[in-house]
């Protein structure tokens, strides 16, 4: 199908409908960040875990973050209620249902094993629970799912290496590794050996870089860790030579607009640099990061972004969704199938 490049048949109200209705991939979602306050309290009660918050409302009130660290403190407290395989299954299943509702057809889901192994939970409990929900989502929701194990960068590289070795018996249940948690003061170089080990094991590689940290962290994620995608990466615009490289090598950036506003990376969605990233011809995708904490799932990110930035067009929407398939760790047949579905949704006339 040949699509008109500027989609002149798509009105603004129809575009807002298409943002929700079109098929898309989500490539940057931390499963522990999908834990809604109601489920946190239910699991805390079931597992006898004491929370430093009196109620669901009190917990929600704590979601007034000033930077990444102020969020991470609350996020790790929330994850402390996860104990059994069933808990990990329940958390992930809730996200998959929500994602399918947003017409996500493929999700690459981060998980943080060290948040749980530090509390005495076996890594197998974490991975088996998440995998059970993933297989159910594939069978019952038609959602394609892959898991990506993230190392916490505020911990040591030897802790990350031990985590990878403990997880390798479950190698068939995750496709890659990533790097998350407190960025400043923890450059990618700190994790050179563990990423080399993951590469030897045939795992795909991604890393958070340039969320709060400088463009130099994006460069070292590429040059030292050899990652294939950058999570966030919004600070790349401070370094024009880096932008040129990201564009020519077509390195995907998994951008998370609501997260960036909640964590004060930008003052508002209307200040977000997505239009500039798109104008620089970067392979940008839209994602929810930690939807339970940042006020919305992937469609909320799309709709609120386009409502706040009227200069974004139907062509931008198409490109963002198309990029999500191009950047996914799946085979070319899957990408072609989803792209065809996307094309037919954008080609259809308004009802
Ligand atoms: N862990 C969960 N969300 C994160 C984010 N936005 N940045 C770094 N680590 C995270
Ligand atoms: Zn993230």
**pLDDT tens, N- to C-terminus, the chain (351 residues):** 566 678 888 999 999 999 999 999 999 999 999 999 999 999 999 999 999 999 999 999 999 999 999 999 999 999 999 999 999 999 999 999 999 999 999 999 999 999 999 999 999 999 999 999 999 999 999 999 999 999 999 999 999 999 999 999 999 999 999 999 999 999 999 999 999 999 999 999 999 999 999 999 999 999 999 999 999 999 999 999 999 999 999 999 999 999 999 999 999 999 999 999 999 999 999 999 999 999 999 999 999 999 999 999 999 999 999 999 999 999 999 999 999 999 999 998 877
The one catalytic residue among 26, 32, 108, 211: 211
In sequence order, the 6+-apart residues with CB closer than 8 A to the CB of 234 are: 210, 211, 253, 255, 260, 265, 266, 273, 277
- Give the sign of the dihedral formed by CA 69, CA 208, CA 239, CA 260: negative
Query: What is the 31 CA–ligand 1 centroid distance (Å)?
Result: 11
pLDDT in the model for residue 236: 98
Query: What is the 33 CA–ligand 1 centroid distance (Å)?
Result: 8
Q: Is 45 exposed, middle or buried (0-12, 13-18, 19+ CB in 10 A)?
A: exposed
Query: What is the 164 CA–ligand 2 centroid distance (Å)?
Result: 19
pLDDT in the model for residue 2: 60
Topology of the domain covering 18-345: TIM Barrel (3.20.20)
The whole-angstrom separation of Cα 47 and Cα 346 is 47
Query: To test ligand 1's pocket by mutation, which of 31, 114, 152, 180 has the most ligand atoms within 8 angstroms of CB?
Result: 180
pTM, whole model, 2 decimals?
0.98
Smallest CA separation from ligand 1 atom 1, residue: 181
Helix H or strand E segment including 231: strand 229-232
Query: What is the 7 CA–ligand 1 centroid distance (Å)?
Result: 35
Ligand at minimal distance from the CA of 181 is 1
Ligand at minimal distance from the CA of 210 is 1
Ligand at minimal distance from the CA of 112 is 1
Ligand 1 first shell, C-beta below 6 A: 30, 33, 68, 75, 180-181, 208, 211, 259, 289-290
CB 234 within 8 A of CB 277: yes
249 labelled catalytic: no
Rg (CA), the chain: 19
pLDDT in the model for residue 8: 84
Query: What is the 8 CA–ligand 1 centroid distance (Å)?
Result: 38
Query: To test ligand 1's pocket by mutation, which of 208, 233, 257, 301 has the most ligand atoms within 8 angstroms of CB?
Result: 208
Q: Indicate which atom in ligand 1 lies nearest the CA of residue 30.
A: 2
Query: What is the 62 CA–ligand 2 centroid distance (Å)?
Result: 19
Query: To test ligand 1's pocket by mutation, which of 26, 34, 69, 71 has the most ligand atoms within 8 angstroms of CB?
Result: 71
Residues lining ion ligand 2 (Cβ < 5 A) are 289
Helices (H), 137-227: 157-167, 192-200, 215-223
């Amino acid at each position: 199908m040949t699509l008109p490049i500027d989609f002149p048949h798509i009105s603004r109200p129809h575009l807002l409908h298409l943002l929700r209705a079109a098929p898309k991939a989500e490539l940057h979602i931390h499963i522990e960040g999908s834990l809604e306050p109601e489920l946190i309290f239910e699991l805390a009660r079931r597992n006898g875990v004491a929370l430093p918050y009196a109620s669901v409302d009190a917990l929600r009130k704590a979601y007034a973050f000033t930077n990444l660290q102020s969020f991470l403190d609350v996020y790790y407290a929330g994850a402390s209620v996860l104990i059994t395989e069933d808990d990990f299954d329940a958390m992930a299943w809730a996200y998959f249902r929500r994602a399918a509702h947003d017409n996500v057809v493929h999700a690459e889901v981060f998980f943080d094993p060290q948040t749980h192994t530090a509390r005495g939970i076996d890594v197998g409990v974490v991975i088996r629970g998440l995998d059970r929900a993933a297989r159910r989502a594939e069978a019952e929701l038609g959602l394609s799912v892959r898991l990506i194990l993230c190392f916490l960068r505020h911990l040591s590289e030897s802790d990350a290496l031990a985590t990878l070795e403990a997880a390798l018996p479950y190698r068939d249940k995750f496709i890659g590794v990533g790097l998350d948690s407190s960025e400043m003061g923890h450059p990618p170089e700190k994790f050179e050996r563990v990423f080399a080990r993951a590469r030897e094991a045939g795992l795909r590689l991604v890393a958070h870089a340039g969320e709060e940290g400088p463009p130099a962290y994006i460069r070292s994620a590429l040059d030292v860790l050899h990652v294939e995608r950058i999570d966030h990466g919004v600070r790349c615009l401070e370094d024009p030579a880096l932008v040129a490289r990201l564009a020519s090598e077509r390195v995907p950036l998994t951008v998370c607009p609501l997260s960036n506003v909640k964590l004060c990376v930008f003052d508002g969605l209307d200040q977000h640099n997505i239009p500039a990233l798109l104008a620089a011809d970067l392979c940008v995708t839209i994602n929810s990061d930690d939807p339970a904490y940042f006020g919305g799932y992937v469609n909320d990110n799309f709709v609120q972004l386009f409502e706040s930035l009227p200069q974004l067009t139907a062509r931008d929407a198409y490109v963002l969704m198309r990029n999500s398939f191009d950047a996914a760790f799946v085979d070319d047949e899957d990408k072609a199938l989803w792209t065809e579905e996307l094309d037919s949704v954008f080609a259809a006339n308004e009802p």
